[in-house]
Amino acid sequence: MEIRELMTKNPACCSPSDSVANAASLMAKNDCGQIPVTDSNGDLIGVITDRDIACRCVAEGKSADTRVEDIMSSSPITVRVDESVAECCKKMEDNQVRRLPVVDDAGKCCGIVSQADIARHASEHQTGDLVREVSEPTR
Protein backbone atom coordinates (compact mmCIF):
# COMPACT_ATOMS: atom_id res chain seq x y z
CA MET A 1 0.00 0.00 0.00
CA GLU A 2 1.31 3.44 -0.93
CA ILE A 3 1.02 6.53 1.25
CA ARG A 4 -1.29 8.21 -1.29
CA GLU A 5 -3.94 5.66 -0.30
CA LEU A 6 -4.15 6.69 3.35
CA MET A 7 -2.84 10.26 3.64
CA THR A 8 -4.98 13.30 4.28
CA LYS A 9 -4.98 15.06 0.92
CA ASN A 10 -4.60 18.82 0.37
CA PRO A 11 -3.82 19.81 3.95
CA ALA A 12 -4.26 23.36 5.19
CA CYS A 13 -0.92 25.17 4.82
CA CYS A 14 0.44 28.48 6.03
CA SER A 15 3.24 30.78 4.95
CA PRO A 16 6.35 31.58 6.97
CA SER A 17 5.15 35.17 7.41
CA ASP A 18 1.79 34.15 8.90
CA SER A 19 1.26 34.68 12.60
CA VAL A 20 1.35 31.86 15.12
CA ALA A 21 -2.26 32.80 15.94
CA ASN A 22 -3.20 32.07 12.31
CA ALA A 23 -1.43 28.71 12.39
CA ALA A 24 -3.17 27.80 15.64
CA SER A 25 -6.50 28.80 14.15
CA LEU A 26 -5.83 26.52 11.16
CA MET A 27 -5.04 23.68 13.55
CA ALA A 28 -8.30 24.21 15.42
CA LYS A 29 -10.36 24.55 12.24
CA ASN A 30 -8.82 21.42 10.69
CA ASP A 31 -8.58 19.38 13.91
CA CYS A 32 -4.87 18.71 13.47
CA GLY A 33 -1.59 19.25 15.31
CA GLN A 34 0.69 20.10 12.41
CA ILE A 35 0.46 22.63 9.59
CA PRO A 36 2.87 22.49 6.66
CA VAL A 37 4.66 25.77 5.92
CA THR A 38 5.03 26.50 2.22
CA ASP A 39 6.66 29.27 0.22
CA SER A 40 4.92 31.30 -2.48
CA ASN A 41 5.56 28.49 -5.00
CA GLY A 42 3.95 25.88 -2.77
CA ASP A 43 7.26 24.23 -1.89
CA LEU A 44 7.42 22.75 1.60
CA ILE A 45 9.91 24.69 3.74
CA GLY A 46 8.89 23.58 7.23
CA VAL A 47 6.12 22.58 9.58
CA ILE A 48 4.62 24.17 12.64
CA THR A 49 3.21 21.91 15.32
CA ASP A 50 1.10 22.42 18.39
CA ARG A 51 4.24 21.55 20.35
CA ASP A 52 6.24 24.27 18.53
CA ILE A 53 3.57 26.78 19.58
CA ALA A 54 3.56 25.59 23.20
CA CYS A 55 7.34 25.26 23.66
CA ARG A 56 8.86 27.83 21.31
CA CYS A 57 6.22 30.54 21.57
CA VAL A 58 4.04 30.39 24.69
CA ALA A 59 6.70 28.96 27.03
CA GLU A 60 9.17 31.61 25.91
CA GLY A 61 6.70 34.44 26.43
CA LYS A 62 6.35 35.30 22.74
CA SER A 63 3.11 36.78 21.44
CA ALA A 64 0.52 35.23 19.17
CA ASP A 65 1.69 37.73 16.55
CA THR A 66 5.05 35.95 16.32
CA ARG A 67 5.77 34.88 12.76
CA VAL A 68 5.57 31.19 11.95
CA GLU A 69 9.11 31.21 10.54
CA ASP A 70 10.44 32.22 13.97
CA ILE A 71 9.26 29.02 15.66
CA MET A 72 8.63 26.46 12.90
CA SER A 73 10.63 23.29 12.43
CA SER A 74 12.69 23.80 9.27
CA SER A 75 13.76 21.04 6.88
CA PRO A 76 11.09 18.56 7.92
CA ILE A 77 11.36 14.85 7.29
CA THR A 78 8.97 14.03 4.45
CA VAL A 79 7.50 11.03 2.70
CA ARG A 80 6.70 10.80 -1.01
CA VAL A 81 3.21 9.90 -2.22
CA ASP A 82 4.49 6.69 -3.81
CA GLU A 83 6.42 5.41 -0.78
CA SER A 84 5.15 2.34 1.02
CA VAL A 85 3.58 2.32 4.46
CA ALA A 86 6.64 0.37 5.67
CA GLU A 87 9.00 3.09 4.39
CA CYS A 88 6.86 5.77 6.03
CA CYS A 89 6.79 3.90 9.35
CA LYS A 90 10.59 3.55 9.27
CA LYS A 91 10.96 7.33 8.82
CA MET A 92 8.52 8.03 11.64
CA GLU A 93 10.28 5.54 13.93
CA ASP A 94 13.81 6.73 13.10
CA ASN A 95 12.86 10.37 13.67
CA GLN A 96 10.35 9.77 16.48
CA VAL A 97 7.59 11.80 14.84
CA ARG A 98 3.87 11.13 14.70
CA ARG A 99 3.14 13.02 11.47
CA LEU A 100 4.92 13.50 8.16
CA PRO A 101 4.18 15.90 5.34
CA VAL A 102 3.68 14.13 2.02
CA VAL A 103 5.35 15.63 -1.04
CA ASP A 104 5.03 14.99 -4.74
CA ASP A 105 7.92 14.62 -7.18
CA ALA A 106 8.20 18.41 -7.46
CA GLY A 107 8.53 18.89 -3.68
CA LYS A 108 5.04 20.33 -3.29
CA CYS A 109 3.12 19.43 -0.17
CA CYS A 110 0.14 17.33 -1.21
CA GLY A 111 -0.78 15.60 2.04
CA ILE A 112 -0.10 14.65 5.64
CA VAL A 113 0.20 11.14 7.03
CA SER A 114 -0.21 10.59 10.74
CA GLN A 115 0.32 7.76 13.17
CA ALA A 116 -3.50 7.54 13.34
CA ASP A 117 -3.68 7.05 9.55
CA ILE A 118 -1.26 4.15 9.88
CA ALA A 119 -3.30 2.67 12.75
CA ARG A 120 -6.47 2.75 10.66
CA HIS A 121 -4.93 1.09 7.60
CA ALA A 122 -1.87 -0.97 8.53
CA SER A 123 -1.56 -4.29 10.32
CA GLU A 124 -1.75 -4.46 14.11
CA HIS A 125 1.90 -5.56 14.19
CA GLN A 126 3.05 -2.62 12.05
CA THR A 127 0.98 -0.18 14.11
CA GLY A 128 2.29 -1.57 17.39
CA ASP A 129 5.90 -1.32 16.24
CA LEU A 130 5.34 2.28 15.11
CA VAL A 131 3.74 3.38 18.38
CA ARG A 132 6.45 1.68 20.44
CA GLU A 133 9.36 3.15 18.45
CA VAL A 134 7.96 6.68 18.21
CA SER A 135 7.20 6.66 21.94
CA GLU A 136 10.68 5.58 23.09
CA PRO A 137 12.44 8.13 25.31
CA THR A 138 14.64 10.47 23.27
CA ARG A 139 17.83 8.72 22.30
Strand order in the sheet with 8-9: 8-9, 109-114, 99-103, 79-80
Domain spans, the chain: 3-135
What is the tens place of the pLDDT at every residue in 112-138? 999 888 888 766 767 666 666 766 776
CATH number of the domain at 3-135, out of 3.20.20.70, 3.10.580.10, 3.40.190.10, 3.40.50.1100?
3.10.580.10
Residue 118: the pLDDT is 87
pTM tops 0.95: no
> What residues pair up with 37 in beta bridges, in sequence order?
14, 46
Q: How far is CA 45 from the centre of its chain?
A: 12
Question: How buried is 12 (Cβ within 10 angstroms: 0-12 exposed, 13-18 middle, 19+ buried)?
Answer: middle
